[in-house]
Amino acid sequence: MRYFQQEIETMAPEAIRALQSEKLVRQVKHVYEHVPYYRALMDEKGITPDDIRGVEDLHKLPFLSKADLRETYPYGMLAVPLADCVRIQSTSGTTGKRVIAYYTQKDLDLWEECCARAIVAAGGTREDVVQVCYGYGLFTGGAGLHGGSHRVGALTLPMSSGNTERQIQFMMDLKATILCCTPSYAAYIGEALKERGYKPEDNHLKAGIFGAEPWTEEMRRDIEKSLGIKAYDIYGLTETSGPGVAFECSEQNGMHVNEDHFIPEIIDPDTGEVLPDGEKGELVFTSLDKEAFPLLRYRTRDICVLTREKCPCGRTHVRMAKPMGRSDDMMIIRGVNVFPSQIETVLLNEGYAPNYRIEVDRVNNSDTLDIYVELLPEQFTDTVSGITKMERRLAEAIKIMLGISPVVHLVAPKTIARSEGKAVRVVDKRKLHD
């Protein structure tokens, strides 16, 4: 099986464009009639649904940004009665108020199809055993790949994140063939397997589908080597439904955007002007089939390039490069890209609660990274050496993940300040000096 939905995935570009035009007209009308917030934006620009007759009119529509989603939280972007929705998913809310996305049953079905396309593109069939260790719950990673794996008919292991010992046990005992998680967790599992004396050929994995955080080509090669697999990238945002908006094929040369459900555009982030294919700019998505949470011209803030060059895999959908630069949560510390999610991954793996504070500062022209982590009552011991040993062990595990050494400080439970019930994670004091 090369494609999950061959007819759509290999459709002639003109036919895709015609399909998009037809769907766009419907989607704009749906939004205009049911989302007063967006209707007001259109009214302000003096356009009505009648002005949008096809893809060529897309540029006339106003943009949406994360600020709009915050403004309209929690129901303001909902385009169907709440009773028609069957699910929500949500962002972690680390960079401000969280975003809640709503789904009707049809929205879920289409999302899962997108994820199924990604799994099949990575070589997945109903014979496969798919280990999903993205977080389950509000995060879209677990739900998306889980649903996609069901659609393919593969045996799905709903592992969720963390508990590396158990991940490895299931991976080995049930001969998992496809691993789905964040690239940093994949790298971590690779390390953990090596530490336990496993060689890359000892597992049954053939592929991994990794997303939800930016990663480099170098990291891809490392993961492929340590797990003995081919590693595939997958892209998506909670705002657009989740992972599966775009996915890599066996060429590993850009991610095919599911153009029958989304129109991607690249714009100049300063002027908002649409840029031609091949130029670098901000990635913008318009949904075409969404019932509950349709977003027109949503600015992702990811900097990216699109290419329409023919892909040898046979898929005709446009490809997006790995987004470069910018992500709200990313910090650059001693020249290394650091994401709070990477640190959180290590904490969960090492048995700590994800309550932590990261302090970045600059001392004598060198960046410092201090991580404050709450001790759990059962981890407390009566000797100083016991606690400093735990701090050193945790610092070592974080160093393996990030490539730079932090100083870990264990602190008493419930002493890290929380806002909206969640720990405030990052304090970057370097800004004070700039």
Q: Which of residues 244-273 bind Zn ion (CB under 5 A)?
A: 249, 251
Nearer to other proteins by C-beta: 275 or 387? 387
Burial class (CB in 10 A: 0-12, 13-18, 19+), 204: middle
Q: Is 122 in the site for Zn ion (CB under 5 A)?
A: no
Q: Is 318 in the site for Zn ion (CB under 5 A)?
A: no
| Shortest distance, position 412 Cβ to other proteins, whole Å | 5
| Shortest distance, position 138 Cβ to Zn ion, whole Å | 31
Stretch that binds Zn ion, among 239-247, 306-314, 395-403, 414-422 (CB under 5 A): 306-314
Nearest CA among 152, 151, 150 for reference residue 124: 152
Q: Which of 315, 317, 357, 425 binds Zn ion (CB under 5 A)?
A: 315
3-state secondary structure of 313: coil
What is the spatial distance between Cα 319 and Cα 149, in angstroms, rounded to a whole number? Answer: 23
What is the spatial distance between Cα 26 and Cα 42, in angstroms, rounded to a whole number? Answer: 15
What does 411 bind: other proteins, Zn ion, none (CB cut-off 5 to 8 Å by kind)?
other proteins
What does 204 bind: other proteins, Zn ion, none (CB cut-off 5 to 8 Å by kind)?
none
Nearest CA among 75, 10, 83 for reference residue 36: 75
3-state secondary structure of 311: coil
DSSP line for 90-109: E---TTSS--EEEE-HHHHH
| Shortest distance, position 359 Cβ to other proteins, whole Å | 13
| Shortest distance, position 251 Cβ to Zn ion, whole Å | 5
Sign of the dihedral defined by the CA atoms of residues 10, 14, 17, 19, in that order = negative
Nearer to other proteins by C-beta: 143 or 375? 375
Backbone angles phi, psi at 292, to 5 degrees: -80, -40
DSSP line for 18-55: HHHHHHHHHHHHHHHHH-HHHHHHHHHHT--GGG--SG
Nearer to other proteins by C-beta: 83 or 384? 384
Nearer to Zn ion by C-beta: 71 or 251? 251
What does 48 bind: other proteins, Zn ion, none (CB cut-off 5 to 8 Å by kind)?
none
| Shortest distance, position 110 Cβ to other proteins, whole Å | 48
Residues that bind other proteins (CB under 8 A): 375, 377, 380-384, 387-388, 409-415
What does 384 bind: other proteins, Zn ion, none (CB cut-off 5 to 8 Å by kind)?
other proteins
What does 360 bind: other proteins, Zn ion, none (CB cut-off 5 to 8 Å by kind)?
none
Q: Which residue has the tokens 């798919």?
A: 130
| Shortest distance, position 374 Cβ to other proteins, whole Å | 9
CA 181, distance to chain mean position in Å, is: 10
| Shortest distance, position 413 Cβ to other proteins, whole Å | 6
Q: Is 311 in the site for Zn ion (CB under 5 A)?
A: yes
Angle, CA of 252, 256 and 261, to the nearest 5°: 160
